[in-house]
Structure 1
Amino acid sequence: SSITATLGSIATSGSEGDSARASSNGDGSASSLVHREDPWEEEDLPSDDESEATPVYLFLAATGLIDFIPTFAKEHIDMDALMLLTEEDLVHMKLPIGPRRKLLKAIAERKEAINDP
């Protein structure tokens, strides 16, 4: 019974807030209320969509090196640049030896696949 009373009071107080918000602009739909309650604007949020769609992102993800995407983005590495990277470049970028070896192997395999389809 106390749970019912608590739930009833929550529903009542929530309804009053929703009514007040709905009356402020006349749109009382749930989606409009949820959107208005966000403390930020959608365009203010960082978007990873751009980096996730790049071939470099997909290549690094397939190689298990997704954690290093920010490093490659910072260095403005695209697929052409990625294919030209040397071990010295990767050392300069501060990639640890394990990920560095994986990446060099994946680059070599890709070059081989391109040259000998």
Structure 2
Amino acid sequence: MKRFLVVAGVDEYTSQFLSQRIDLEALLILSDEDFKELGIPMGPRKKLMRALDERRRDLANPGDFVDSKL
């Protein structure tokens, strides 16, 4: 989850998620209201919501799997 938060630009809120035992799976089902309750300000909340929307889209349509040649 830490890597996801870093890429989303909101890693300074990692401690809030860890203290509530929120992992990446739980993060994917949280709402904007949940993030407000965790004390996440609007700017970072919007970044996080956008990153989660992108993650959900990627999970729903992962595309073709291409094996690499070593």
Which residue pairs with 2:24 in the alignment? 79
Kindly provide the CA deviation profile for residues 46-66 of structure 1, in whole angstroms up to 9, marking residues without a partner as x.
xxxxxxxxxx11100111111
Which of 57, 61, 74 is matched with 2:2 structurally? 57
Higher relative contact order at CA 8 Å, sep ≥6: structure 1 or structure 2?
A: 2
Q: Which runs of 5+ in 1 are unaligned?
A: 1-55
Equivalenced residues, count: 62
Kindly indicate which of the two structures has a greater share of residues assigned to helix: 1
Q: Which amino acid aligns with 2:11?
A: I
Equivalent position SS for 1:73? helix
Question: Separation in 1 of the partners of 2:38 and 2:9?
Answer: 17
Question: Separation in 1 of the partners of 2:16 and 2:9?
Answer: 14
Moved over 2 A (4+): none
**TM, length-normalised to structure 1:** 0.52
% identical aligned pairs: 34
